[in-house]
Structure 1
Amino acid sequence: MKSASKFEKVAARCWNLLNEGKPFTPIFVFGTFVLFHAAVLGSVEGILDLLGAFLYVIPLLILFFIYDFPLLLRNYLWIPFVVFLIVFKEVNIGLLLFSAALYFFFTVFFWGTLYYHLRIGTSWLNFTRFWKLVLKNSDSTSGNAQEQLPKFLLVLSIWEMVFKTHRAGQEIELLSLVLFYVFILVFAYILHRNLFDWRPKIYNSYTKNNFPQPNEALSNKVVVIVVDGMRKERFYEAETPFMDSLKQNGTEYTNMETVYPARTVVCFSSMFTGTYPFEHGMTSNMVWKLGIKVESIFDSLRKVGKKGRLLGIAHLVDSMGSDVETVTAVMHNDKADPNIMQRAKKIMKEQDPDLFIVQMIATDQTGHSRGVLYDEYLQKIHEADVLIEDFISWLEKEGKMENTTLFICADHGQADGIGGHGHLDEGERFVPFIVHGPNIEKGKKVEEKHSLVSLAPTLSYLLGAPFPSHSRGKVLLDAIIKKKED
């Protein structure tokens, strides 16, 4: 399987401008307004009027960039729009209908059909299902119709009002507009302060303050297989005989919680630094500055002369840099995971890392393109189970499992709709998490709530490396036999 090219890495970053909800809103608003008023672009005066009016909506765009209005909060987004209509009595029905049509064309046909067909081979008829998924979607992406629609309808209405006033040579009711913006700011602040209360609690202290630094390795190797986007209850419903056997002969954490926002780059960064977005710097899949701000497990391993590798898709490079071996994500989804696991065998054979992390992507991609409540999603989880069994059997034949600890987990779950994840809707928060190996308790279930930030310090503990500098997670001692025998 070929690596992600430089073009694919750049293209992935560009796509995230349209995929992530925060940058999408201003981009979509600007593009829509310019297309609708394309006739005025023929004169310098028209362009200046358009851009001058745009200045008046920048504060609102900034406010919407700061405040997500996730999950139930998005229902309140219609209130500012209704207040605008009552106070200013300005609306251009043609513009609003044009913007809604353009939005659904982008999400349902361009993204849900053309993009997924070209990238992973989804059917040309995918729009027949994708429109329903967009309407149900609750994540932090541009495909969250219930969040995006009231945002861009309000911004476009204000821009149109100011633009029309400019063109008519009239004065803008600046005080009224400022007071309206203050109202929205106060409204958003109160909502987020009082209703945005479902983010996971963080560990306030560092791992090194609660656990002694490891001084010897318990495992020769650790293998972590992350089935990206594997929703926990759907995992339980899928046919997974191999992973079921790992649960029976290892330790399962039944309440392993991901981080907020539950986006892939954020989750991987948290899992392998042991800390949270406010500290490692990755706050979405849209990375404004490359590289985490803190030490990762890979840095910790280098301090004791050991090597770790992460095999994953292009955008993980934005976070983990050269510690990532990339795979291309541009191939039919039925071929993605088999090719990834073939590449995994090649890396293990040629590089033989002490820590090897593999990201399997087909389950997540099926959830996004076809939804998580359909049989295709269960089939992809089953296929992942078969591939994991084949990989572990190969490792055993190669003599690489004699004192190896195996972790099987997901980075996040997936919600209804387009397999969304980010805001921690139902299906996203808790993930499958299995530990297996000679030093691991057999047939144990840990029901206490834990966080995925505990993965990095636990890897350090098993491999005899210092904890990453800003690790806050707990060492998962419940699963480890040796610690109980001390």
Structure 2
Amino acid sequence: MKKASKFEKFAARCWNLLNEGKPFTPIFTIGTMILFAFFSKSDWTVLAVSFVTIIPFLILYFIYDFPLFLRNFLWIPLIAYLLIWGEISYTLWLFAISLYFFFTVFFWGTLYYHLRIGTTWWNFTRFWKLVLKNSDSTSGNAQEQLPKVLLLLSLWYIHYSMLMDGVTFTSLSWIQIITFFGATWLFAFVLHRYLFDWKPEPIENYTENVSPSEHAVNDKVIVIVIDGMRKERFEEANTPFLDKLRLEGTEYANMETVYPARTVVCFSSMFTGTYPFEHGITSNMVWKLGIKVESIFDSLRKVNKKGRLLGIAHLVDAMGDDVETVTAVMHNDEADRNIIERAKKIMAEQDPELLIAQLISTDQTGHSRGVLYDEYIQKIEEADRLVEEFVGWLKDNGKMENTTLMICADHGQADGIGGHGHLDEGERYVPFIMNGPTIKRNHLVKEKHSLVSMAPTIAYLLGAPYPSHSRGPVLQEAMRSEGNNE
């Protein structure tokens, strides 16, 4: 299987500018302005000057997310604009809406996914419905992006028209503009202060429930992350091997992901043991490469042990050289098979004490085809068969004798374009299974836990110090006490 090339890593970062909602809003708005001005043969100087009137609103929408139900409130500033100025360009609105759906439904949902993972050329027939339903703050969230963009373009166009009609820049209704801007900022602040209250509370203390183990409990830990596997859909799927693992091991029924539930954020939290405010990765769009704290890989190096993370190019932005990259440009039916083959090669050639493998097909199917369709279930079932094959290979090669196996998802997925980020229904709680000779059999933990417990638990099992800012408690409920074989 090919590694992710330097070009693919660069392209992935560029794509995140269009995929993540915060950078997309100004990029799309400015791009629409330029195209509209080009086709209408406008004065470019006037366009640039009138653009100044919307800069504060671009900043506002970059700071505030308006997640989940808060996006409904985005229509209120647009209605207020209509009441105050009472003027819109229907041509501009129609142009912007058409351009938006062309980008999301045809360029992204059809061309992009066909070239990257081999979806059908007819994917647009379903993708438009997913864009309308999507609740995540990405470019594919029509209910969030359209009211933002239409307000920004309307504010720009009315002042652009005034300037074109001979009104000077200093003669614009600045008191009205500033008042409207201030009221919108206050509105956004109040909404987020009093209604944006569903984020998980971070654990206040660093890991302290168990002292670090001076001696390794296990020789190896194998972690398989089935990216984007929604818990309720996992329960509906036919997964005999994963069911066997949880019956013969320990299952955490209420394992909570972190906020925001984006892949690079989740992996950074899982393998540092802490939250975005400490490790510094706050979205898939990584502005400054590298985590700010120690990872589990750093901890293992302190005791002369090795860990490898096998995953897509995005993860390099956080974990750097500890990542063995795989290309994400391949048919989705081949992706997880190739990842498992690469995992076998890493274990055969490098034999690390810790291997983390990211299976990506379930997540990619959710994003391209939706999570409430049969294709999504089929990918979970395919992952089950591949995990069984990999564990069998590990046993045949003598690498499971004193090994703990962890199977989990980094986040779930909501309806629409498999949205995840703001902990909508289907995102917050993830499947989590531990299995091995030192793990309790047929044990169910119902209390709520967090994925930030993964790093300290791995460190404990492998006899390494906890990462420097690890906050998650060690998952000791899953471990057998000496002489206890339950």
TM-score (normalizing by structure 2):
0.98
Contact 1:120 1:330 in 2 (8 A): yes
Instruction: Choose the corresponding residue for 1:107, options 93, 101, 104.
Output: 104
Q: Using the alignment, how far apart are the partners of 1:145 and 1:7 within structure 2?
A: 30
Cα pair distance change 1:258/1:484, threshold 3 Å: farther
Matches within 5 A, 1:287-298: 287-298=286-297
Matches within 5 A, 1:212-231: 212-231=211-230
Cα pair distance change 1:260/1:441, threshold 3 Å: same
Matches within 5 A, 1:305-344: 305-344=304-343
Mapped pair 1:82 → 2:110:
no
Which residue number corresponds to residue 195 of structure 1?
195
Instruction: After TM superposition, give the deviation of residue 214 of structure 1 in Å.
Output: 2.3
Query: In the alignment, residue 386 of structure 1 is paired with which amino acid?
Result: R
SS at structure 1 position matched to 2:407: strand
Query: In the alignment, residue 30 of structure 1 is paired with which amino acid?
Result: I
Q: Using the alignment, how far apart are the partners of 2:205 and 2:163 within structure 1?
A: 55
Instruction: After TM superposition, give the deviation of residue 210 of structure 1 in Å.
Output: 4.0
Matches within 5 A, 1:34-433: 34-39=34-39, 46-170=43-167, 171-207=171-207, 209-433=208-432
Which residue number corresponds to residue 457 of structure 2?
458
SS at structure 2 position matched to 1:31: helix
Contact 2:250 2:445 in 1 (8 A): yes
Per-residue CA deviation, residues 10-65 of structure 1 (Å, 9 max, x unaligned), is 000000000000000000000011111105667xxx22211111111111011001
SS at structure 1 position matched to 2:481: helix
Instruction: After TM superposition, give the deviation of residue 311 of structure 1 in Å.
Output: 0.2
SS at structure 2 position matched to 1:470: coil
SS at structure 2 position matched to 1:482: coil
Instruction: After TM superposition, give the deviation of residue 90 of structure 1 in Å.
Output: 2.1
Per-residue CA deviation, residues 70-108 of structure 1 (Å, 9 max, x unaligned), is 000000000000001101112111101110110011000
Give aligned pairs, total. Answer: 481
Q: Using the alignment, how far apart are the partners of 2:172 and 2:394 within structure 1?
A: 71
Per-residue CA deviation, residues 179-198 of structure 1 (Å, 9 max, x unaligned), is 10111111011111111111
Per-residue CA deviation, residues 306-364 of structure 1 (Å, 9 max, x unaligned), is 00000000010000000000000000000000000000000000000000000000000
Q: Using the alignment, how far apart are the partners of 1:70 and 1:56 within structure 2?
A: 25
Per-residue CA deviation, residues 180-228 of structure 1 (Å, 9 max, x unaligned), is 0111111011111111111111101111x44322211100000000000
Cα pair distance change 1:39/1:115, threshold 3 Å: closer
Q: Using the alignment, how far apart are the partners of 1:98 and 1:289 within structure 2?
A: 35
Query: In the alignment, residue 479 of structure 1 is paired with which amino acid?
Result: A
Contact 1:40 1:47 in 2 (8 A): no
Which residue number corresponds to residue 467 of structure 1?
466
Contact 2:271 2:295 in 1 (8 A): yes
Contact 1:477 1:483 in 2 (8 A): no
SS at structure 2 position matched to 1:53: helix
Q: Using the alignment, how far apart are the partners of 1:484 and 1:136 within structure 2?
A: 52
Contact 2:219 2:403 in 1 (8 A): yes
Instruction: After TM superposition, give the deviation of residue 482 of structure 1 in Å.
Output: 3.1
Which residue number corresponds to residue 18 of structure 2?
18
Higher mean alpha-carbon deviation, 117-126 vs 88-97, is at 88-97
Q: Using the alignment, how far apart are the partners of 1:410 and 1:39 within structure 2?
A: 47
Contact 1:230 1:381 in 2 (8 A): yes
Per-residue CA deviation, residues 405-446 of structure 1 (Å, 9 max, x unaligned), is 000000000000011111110000000000000000000110
Q: Using the alignment, how far apart are the partners of 1:40 and 1:51 within structure 2?
A: 15
Cα pair distance change 1:202/1:130, threshold 3 Å: same
Q: Using the alignment, how far apart are the partners of 2:296 and 2:40 within structure 1?
A: 55
Contact 2:294 2:469 in 1 (8 A): yes
Instruction: After TM superposition, give the deviation of residue 167 of structure 1 in Å.
Output: 1.3
Per-residue CA deviation, residues 366-422 of structure 1 (Å, 9 max, x unaligned), is 000000000000000000000000000000000000000000000000000011111
Contact 2:109 2:368 in 1 (8 A): yes
Q: Using the alignment, how far apart are the partners of 1:202 and 1:483 within structure 2?
A: 32
Query: In the alignment, residue 292 of structure 1 is paired with which amino acid?
Result: I
Instruction: After TM superposition, give the deviation of residue 252 of structure 1 in Å.
Output: 0.3
Q: Using the alignment, how far apart are the partners of 1:474 and 1:5 within structure 2?
A: 37
TM-score (normalizing by structure 1):
0.98
Contact 2:209 2:474 in 1 (8 A): no
Contact 2:26 2:58 in 1 (8 A): yes
Contact 2:21 2:137 in 1 (8 A): yes
Q: Using the alignment, how far apart are the partners of 2:39 and 2:460 within structure 1?
A: 65
Q: Using the alignment, how far apart are the partners of 1:362 and 1:213 within structure 2?
A: 36
Instruction: After TM superposition, give the deviation of residue 141 of structure 1 in Å.
Output: 0.8
Q: Using the alignment, how far apart are the partners of 2:113 and 2:83 within structure 1?
A: 41
Contact 2:37 2:44 in 1 (8 A): no
SS at structure 1 position matched to 2:325: strand
Contact 1:261 1:284 in 2 (8 A): yes
Q: Using the alignment, how far apart are the partners of 2:60 and 2:332 within structure 1?
A: 38
Which residue number corresponds to residue 30 of structure 1?
30
Query: In the alignment, residue 127 of structure 1 is paired with which amino acid?
Result: F
Q: Using the alignment, how far apart are the partners of 1:423 and 1:484 within structure 2?
A: 43
Q: Using the alignment, how far apart are the partners of 1:23 and 1:81 within structure 2?
A: 20
SS at structure 2 position matched to 1:346: helix
Contact 1:257 1:431 in 2 (8 A): yes
Which residue number corresponds to residue 2 of structure 2?
2
Q: Using the alignment, how far apart are the partners of 2:209 and 2:414 within structure 1?
A: 34
Q: Using the alignment, how far apart are the partners of 2:140 and 2:482 within structure 1?
A: 46
Query: In the alignment, residue 313 of structure 2 is paired with which amino acid?
Result: A
Q: Using the alignment, how far apart are the partners of 2:165 and 2:433 within structure 1?
A: 66
Cα pair distance change 1:48/1:483, threshold 3 Å: farther
